[in-house]
């Protein structure tokens, strides 16, 4: 049908689940677990990784099919990947990564490659940024390299890229698509919290107060606890608040790291309010998920949507993709409306 030449910055747990998922759905006729089997003319097997970047010594120099299973990755192994011939190369690392007391990343003693040249030589269509949260300088350098190489850019991290006027304007001027910021997982806590709030309001329920807190065992939980806790709490809280039409007391964020959860995440929800004639209710709920696979279904949709935008010459932040797949889009829509405009754009 077509080909999407994808480069990935950050060969961590999300990359592991994404690449395993592409192989799984390419080989398996059962498309259970996907939101969309086909986006425009693109299907899952059309996504091909052509370049990969990381900074961990356990991954540099390895074929990406091997690197995704290397420590400290903890994503569940569901399938064996064939050798791809794509070697993980040393990426940018201007941010300090060794200040964490729990970080399991060991910085390779290798000079970063010329990212722009690699993207050009590999004829990359889209660069997906899924490096560690808190590496703001590296994320911005990757976005600059992508624009100089003529690539679209997906920012799945909390770093402000799409919401940075200078960057979004540069992509618009260059005629390249851009989407982000901060990926909204398929069945992640923020998506579920938003869904609950929209449902309760649609049923005439008045919510007085609510919180949602996470504990997890993956590398993202370490990053959140030690580097991005405040920004993630702000992003998640704003994302949920803007999906309800009145002001409430609300907190949404990560609480702690629990090593033995591995790549698991436990999300706790508390919602208190009133319904008919002032009757009170309390919703107290726990959601347990695997962290890395939660990114997969949204990422394969965004990647294919970005390629459609690139094919059509649509530039700058792609509003329909941003509102569909990210916690901090330039413009927010209710979830049903976000799905609607995404499907209209990609049809």
pLDDT tens-place string over residues 222-266: 555 555 567 778 888 888 988 899 999 998 887 677 878 878 889
What's the chain's average pLDDT?
92
| Class of residue 317 by CB neighbours under 10 A (exposed 0-12, middle 13-18, buried 19+) | buried
Closest CA to 23 of 346, 296, 307, 294: 296
Give 102 or 179, the one with higher predicted confidence. Answer: 179
- Tell me the mean pLDDT in the region 192-217: 94
The predicted pLDDT at position 227 comes to 53
Q: Is the CATH number of domain 4-184+293-346 3.40.50.720?
A: yes
Q: Does the pLDDT at position 93 exceed 50?
A: yes
Q: Find out whether 216 and 264 touch, Cβ atoms under 8 Å.
A: yes
Q: At what angle do helices 293-312 and 13-27 cross, to 10 degrees?
A: 80
* Token pair 């932040």 in the structure block, residue: 317
* Second CATH level (architecture) for the domain 189-290: 2-Layer Sandwich (3.30)
Alpha carbons 105 and 5: distance in angstroms, whole number? 27
Identify the band that residue 62 occupies on the pLDDT scale cut at 50, 70 and 90: very high
Give 276 or 215, the one with higher predicted confidence. Answer: 276
| Class of residue 30 by CB neighbours under 10 A (exposed 0-12, middle 13-18, buried 19+) | exposed
Q: What is the pLDDT of residues 75-89, one digit of tens each?
A: 999 999 999 999 999
Alpha carbons 36 and 31: distance in angstroms, whole number? 9
Identify the band that residue 340 occupies on the pLDDT scale cut at 50, 70 and 90: very high
Tokens of 257: 């790291």
Q: Does the pLDDT at position 216 exceed 70?
A: yes
Report the chain's terminal Cα–Cα distance, integer Å: 15
| Phi, psi for residue 190 in degrees, rounded to 5 | -65, -45
274 CB-near residues (< 8 Å, 6+ apart): 205, 206, 208, 280, 281
Identify the band that residue 344 occupies on the pLDDT scale cut at 50, 70 and 90: very high
Q: Find out whether 137 and 297 touch, Cβ atoms under 8 Å.
A: no
Give 102 or 242, the one with higher predicted confidence. Answer: 242
Q: Find out whether 183 and 299 touch, Cβ atoms under 8 Å.
A: yes
Tokens of 43: 């299907």
The predicted pLDDT at position 197 comes to 96
Identify the band that residue 99 occupies on the pLDDT scale cut at 50, 70 and 90: very low
The predicted pLDDT at position 53 comes to 98
Return the percent helix, strand and coil in the chain, to nearest 5: 40, 25, 35
Q: What kind and span of H or E run contains 293?
A: helix 293-312
Q: Find out whether 1 and 46 touch, Cβ atoms under 8 Å.
A: yes
Tokens of 137: 């300088």
Cα torsion for 185, 190, 194, 195, to the nearest 10°?
50
Give 268 or 227, the one with higher predicted confidence. Answer: 268
Sign of torsion, CA 332 337 339 340? negative
Give 134 or 319, the one with higher predicted confidence. Answer: 319
Give 82 or 105, the one with higher predicted confidence. Answer: 82
Least confident interval from 19-23, 51-55, 256-260, 331-335: 256-260
- Tell me the mean pLDDT in the region 332-340: 94
Instruction: Express as a percent the part of the chain with pLDDT over 90.
Output: 78
Q: What is the pLDDT of residues 118-139, one digit of tens each?
A: 999 999 999 999 998 888 999 9
The predicted pLDDT at position 221 comes to 55
Give pairs for 239-243: CB < 8 Å, separation 24+.
239/184, 239/190, 239/194, 239/327, 239/328, 239/332, 240/190, 240/193, 240/194, 240/197, 240/210, 240/212, 242/332, 243/194, 243/197, 243/198, 243/332, 243/334, 243/335
The predicted pLDDT at position 157 comes to 95
Q: What is the pLDDT of residues 269-318, one digit of tens each?
A: 999 999 999 999 999 999 999 989 999 999 999 999 999 999 999 999 99
Closest CA to 101 of 257, 214, 215: 257
The predicted pLDDT at position 219 comes to 64
The predicted pLDDT at position 20 comes to 97
The predicted pLDDT at position 218 comes to 67
**Domain positions in the chain:** 4-184+293-346, 189-290
Alpha carbons 8 and 106: distance in angstroms, whole number? 19
Q: Find out whether 10 and 131 touch, Cβ atoms under 8 Å.
A: yes
């Amino acid at each position: 049908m077509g080909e999407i030449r994808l480069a990935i910055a950050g060969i961590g747990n999300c990359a592991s689940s994404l690449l395993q998922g592409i192989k799984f759905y390419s080989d398996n006729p059962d498309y259970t677990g996907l939101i969309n089997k086909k986006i425009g003319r693109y299907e899952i097997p059309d996504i091909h990784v052509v370049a990969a970047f990381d900074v961990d010594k356990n991954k540099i120099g390895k074929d990406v099919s091997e690197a995704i299973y290397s420590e400290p990755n903890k994503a569940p192994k569901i399938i064996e990947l064939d050798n791809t011939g794509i070697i993980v190369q040393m990426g940018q690392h201007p941010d300090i990564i060794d200040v964490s007391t729990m970080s399991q990343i060991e910085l390779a003693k290798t000079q970063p490659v010329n990212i722009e040249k690699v993207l050009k030589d590999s004829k990359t269509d889209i660069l997906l940024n899924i490096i560690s949260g808190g590496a703001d300088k590296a994320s911005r350098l990757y976005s600059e390299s992508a624009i100089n190489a003529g690539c679209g850019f997906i920012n799945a991290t909390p770093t402000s890229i799409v919401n940075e006027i200078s960057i979004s304007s540069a992509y618009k001027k260059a005629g390249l698509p851009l989407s982000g910021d901060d990926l909204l997982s398929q069945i992640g806590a923020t998506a579920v919290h938003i869904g609950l709030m929209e449902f309760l309001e649609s049923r005439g329920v008045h919510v007085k107060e609510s919180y949602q807190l996470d504990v997890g065992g993956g590398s993202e939980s370490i990053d959140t606890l030690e580097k991005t806790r405040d920004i993630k709490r702000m992003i998640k809280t704003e994302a949920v608040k803007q999906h309800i039409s009145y002001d409430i007391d609300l907190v949404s964020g990560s609480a702690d790291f629990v090593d033995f959860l591995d790549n698991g995440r436990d999300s706790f929800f508390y919602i208190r309010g009133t319904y008919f004639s002032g009757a009170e209710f309390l919703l107290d709920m726990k959601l347990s998920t695997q962290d890395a696979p939660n990114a997969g279904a949204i990422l394969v949709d965004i990647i294919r949507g970005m390629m459609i935008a690139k094919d059509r010459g649509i530039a700058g932040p792609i509003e329909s993709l941003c509102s569909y797949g990210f916690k901090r889009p330039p413009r927010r829509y209710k979830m049903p409306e976000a799905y609607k405009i995404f499907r209209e754009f990609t049809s």
